[in-house]
A = this chain, B = another copy of it.
Amino acid sequence: MSQTTELPTLTKKDLTSDQEVRWCPGCGDYAILSTVQSVVPELGGPREDLVFVSGIGCSSRFPYYMDTYGVHSIHGRAPAIASGISASRPDLKVFVMTGDGDALSIGGNHLIHALRRNVNLTIVMFNNQIYGLTKGQYSPTSELGKITKSTPAGSVDHPFNPVSVALGAEASFVARSIDNERAHLSEVLRRAAEHEGTAFVEVYQNCNIFNDGAFDAVRGNKEQQIRLEHGEPIRFGADGERGVALAGTGELTLVDVAAVGEDALLVHDAHREDPGLAFMLSRLAHTPTGPTPIGIFREVSRPVYGQALQAQIDDAIARRGPGDLAELITGRDSWEV
């Protein structure tokens, strides 16, 4: 984002476009929109440097509601289009707003390659574990056995764990939050947006029409929420009475803090180069029915694709001077007739 000398003066209102919001009443998307509109001004930087890119899906309508630059592209391709924007214009702040179908079904490959490359993008994936816009088919995050329009006898395919996928794809920033947990979501989104490189945020989002209550077990429920805080022992439960410890065999176990003592708990280290532990944490709740970690799993620094590309250009110009077109097309082996 380009430097401004003035303090940021954007307000939520500045970011609200004049377009009627066309989500179903009660959809979790509203809360995410509102939170994004509140968080973005805090980042500083002018509105004209903001770009929101999306694919297709209910969630992908997001850019229309932001009074910024925006592209509502085609299904699954937002990470690619956004990569072109970000790589060619490192001065911009580029967001990708996407759904579980858009990002992990048709768009899975672009997603993992963006993560691998570490393009400067903030990817926010609205996971409602369903295809909303096409009226309720199961998605790659739907639980096994899911009964939907396209699986009347229950789905037979094992879902992805989006955090695991991202970590397996070399992501430098991976987090998870929940649509209506505003404070948590704000903090996660702010950190994600400030991250240099590709930040991937999974947001549990309620689709009250086709998959209502999918995350009720986790939402607001302290028993089922493991809030990850860098540098802190991993505790959860109504009063933090439970915790996560590492067995010598290399398995994570859920323990009673009183029984094992706080020192036995694993201390969360989001900045660790090795994504192994973050990955193990991601497995803790394969579906949001067991205690499920939310927060930042991983946050490490790695060269950023667009910057590295630009550095090669700067370096070439520094060494050879700016290109001379006549010289280029004439080449070294020309002759006069």
State whether A161 and B157 are in contact (beta carbons under 8 Å apart), knowing that A112-B112, A250-B266 are contacts in the complex: no
Asked if A251 contacts B276 (CB within 8 A), the reply is: yes
Residues of B within 8 A of A154 (CB): 312
Min CB distance A55 to B, Å, is 14
Among listed A91-99, A165-173, A205-213, interface-contacting one: A165-173
CA distance A166 to B279 in the complex (A): 13
Give every chain B residue within 8 A of A276 (Cβ-Cβ). 250-252, 276, 279-280, 283
**Further pairs besides A158-B302, A164-B167, A280-B280: 5, Cβ < 8 Å:** A112-B165, A156-B303, A250-B276, A252-B276, A274-B283
Contact A156 B272 (CB under 8 A): no
Q: Is A117 among interface residues, defined by CB-CB distance under 8 A?
A: yes
Query: Roughly how many angstroms separate A269 CA and B112 CA in the complex, as a whole number?
Result: 28
B250 near A157 with CB under 8 A, answer: no
Q: Enumerate chain B residues within 8 angstroms of A246, measured Cβ to Cβ.
A: 246, 248, 250
Residue A325 CB within 8 A of the other chain: no
User: Which residue in chain B gives the minimum CB-CB distance to A315?
Assistant: B153
Bound together, the chains give a CA A91 to CA B107 distance in angstroms of: 32
C-alpha gap A161/B275 in the complex (Å): 12
Q: B residues within 8 A CB of A80?
A: none
Alpha-carbon separation in the docked complex, A161 to B116 (Å): 10
What are 25 A-B residue pairs whose CB atoms fall within 8 Å in the complex?
A: A107-B109, A112-B112, A112-B160, A112-B165, A113-B140, A116-B158, A117-B156, A117-B157, A153-B312, A153-B315, A158-B303, A160-B169, A164-B275, A167-B168, A168-B169, A168-B279, A246-B250, A250-B276, A250-B280, A251-B274, A252-B274, A252-B276, A274-B280, A274-B283, A279-B280
Q: In the complex, A165 Cα to B164 Cα: how many Å?
A: 9
Contact partner, A251, options B105, B113, B251, B272, Cβ 8 Å: B272
Contact of A156 among B109, B157, B275, B312 (CB under 8 A): B312
- Residues on B with C-beta less than 8 A from A30 are none
Q: How far is the CA of A113 from the CA of B157 in the complex (A)?
A: 9
What is the CB-to-nearest-CB distance from A50 to chain B, in angstroms, rounded to a whole number?
25
Q: Which residues of B contact A309 (CB under 8 A)?
A: 156
- Chain B residues whose C-beta falls within 8 Å of the C-beta of A303 in the assembled complex: 144, 156, 158
Query: Roughly how many angstroms separate A169 CA and B161 CA in the complex, as a whole number?
Result: 8
Which one of A106, A109, A113, A266 has the greatest number of beta carbons of chain B within 10 Å?
Answer: A109
* Chain B residue with Cβ nearest A151: B312
Q: Which residues of B contact A255 (CB under 8 A)?
A: none
A316 interface hit (Cβ, 8 Å): yes
Taken residue by residue from 233 to 258, chain A's Cβ proximity to chain B (1 for < 8 Å, 0 otherwise) reads as 00000000000001011111000000
CA distance A112 to B161 in the complex (A): 12
CB closest residue in chain B, given A310: B156
Across-interface contacts of A70 in B (CB, < 8 A): none
Say if the beta carbon of A62 comes within 8 Å of chain B: no
Residue picked from A153, A267, A276, most chain B C-beta under 10 Å: A276
Bound state CA distance, A236 and B164, in angstroms? 29
Kindly state the separation between the CA atoms of A283 and B161 in the bound complex, as whole angstroms.
19
In the assembled complex, A24 has its CB within 8 A of some CB on chain B: no
A44 within 8 A of B: no
